[in-house]
Amino acid sequence: MISLKYEAPSSLGDAIALLARASGTSRVLAGGTDVIVQMETDLIEPDLVVDIKKIPDLRGIAMENGGFRVGAAVTGMELTDHQAFCEAWPGVVDGVKLIGSMQIKGRATMGGNLCNASPAADSVPALIAAGAVARVAGPDGTRDVPVEGIPIGPGKTSLRKGEIVVSFVFPPRPAYSGDAYLRMTPRTEMDIAVVGVGVNVTLDAHGVCAAARVSLGAVAPTVLLVEEAGAALVGSRLDAPALDRLAQAAAAACRPIDDKRGTREYRIKVAGVLAKRAAALALERARQNP
């Protein structure tokens, strides 16, 4: 950190221009709960930090085309205090609530959680299950990228130079929809997921699953969208055989590491178990949401 520069532009265009023309290492600063830790522990030595919290586009929670649009720099506390969002997407809120302590949630953002590109990020499986889209702005304009298209490996994203995730766009919520996120950690708080599962289901008027998305965290280099696991639920009433098929599909998709926090076998087993529990919780919420 020989000559670090800090900029806090108030417009998206200025932020993109700063990042696009920067030489050396630059970082976007939202809540700083990963970036500042990486700076403090000398993992990164950026030449430029662009604080995006003064850009209005990144800060609000609004309705757009019947769904929510959430600024990428909205903090965890702001999101979990937003009653209408909590009612619409309790599973996304489950994930955000697990990001660190209350102090961390006072600063941490979903945009940062996604762009830090940890396979164990707690909000990301829930965002992917929700079918959320990241609205990305850069020197070549704006593009919409499904959330699962952003991380490409641990700490790596598909964002191009100068690009910023501006907001998350959530689809309109049909009747009888519910979502859930569960994670396994050795401790109940202040820990990193050994496995995380996001499930989002929509039932028809007869209680049959019309659509389902399942996403797994911490069992592969990136958070996974597991289409086979969602397909295992569609057409069912999420009864025991359907949940068994879900668990098998979830376990089959795992390519986990083996480390002190969870062996490979353990993570694969737990992925199936947690997927069933998350699906049961999503089902319960969907039934209460006519």
Q: Is 39 in the site for other proteins (CB under 8 A)?
A: yes
Q: Is 4 in the site for other proteins (CB under 8 A)?
A: yes
Q: Is 177 in the site for other proteins (CB under 8 A)?
A: no
Q: How far is the CB of 71 from other proteins (least distance, A)?
A: 16
Q: Which range in 38-46, 138-146, 209-217, 237-245 contacts other proteins by CB under 8 A? A: 38-46
Q: How far is the CB of 106 from other proteins (least distance, A)?
A: 4
Structure tokens given for 288: 């209460």
Nearer to other proteins, 37 or 152 (CB): 37
Q: Is 10 in the site for other proteins (CB under 8 A)?
A: no
* Residues 221-260 interacting with other proteins (rule: CB under 8 A): none
* Residues 57-96 interacting with other proteins (rule: CB under 8 A): 75, 77
The only residue of 62, 63, 84, 102 in contact with other proteins, by rule CB under 8 A:
102
The only residue of 51, 94, 148, 179 in contact with other proteins, by rule CB under 8 A:
51
Nearer to other proteins, 31 or 217 (CB): 31
SS (H, E, C) the chain: CCCCEEECCCCHHHHHHHHHCCCCCEEEECCCCCHHHHHHCCCCCCCEEEECCCCHHHCCEEEECCEEEEECCCEHHHHHCCHHHHHHCHHHHHHHHCCCCHHHHCCCEHHHHHHCCCCCCCHHHHHHHHCCEEEEEECCEEEEEEHHHCEEECCEECCCCCCEEEEEECCCCCCCEEEEEEEECCCCCCCCCCEEEEEEEEECCCCCEEEEEEEEECCCCCCEECHHHHHCCCCCCCCHHHHHHHHHHHHHHCCCCCECCECHHHHHHHHHHHHHHHHHHHHHHHHCCC
Other Cβ atoms within 10 Å of 10 Cβ, number: 11
Antiparallel, parallel or unpaired: β 156-157 and 151-153:
antiparallel
Nearer to other proteins, 49 or 203 (CB): 49
Q: Is 23 in the site for other proteins (CB under 8 A)?
A: no
Q: How far is the CB of 290 from other proteins (least distance, A)?
A: 30
Nearer to other proteins, 32 or 90 (CB): 32
Q: How far is the CB of 261 from other proteins (least distance, A)?
A: 16
The only residue of 10, 11, 25, 103 in contact with other proteins, by rule CB under 8 A:
103
Query: Which positions lie near other proteins, rule CB under 8 A?
Result: 1-6, 8, 29, 31-33, 36-37, 39-41, 49, 51, 53, 75, 77, 100-104, 106-107, 189-190
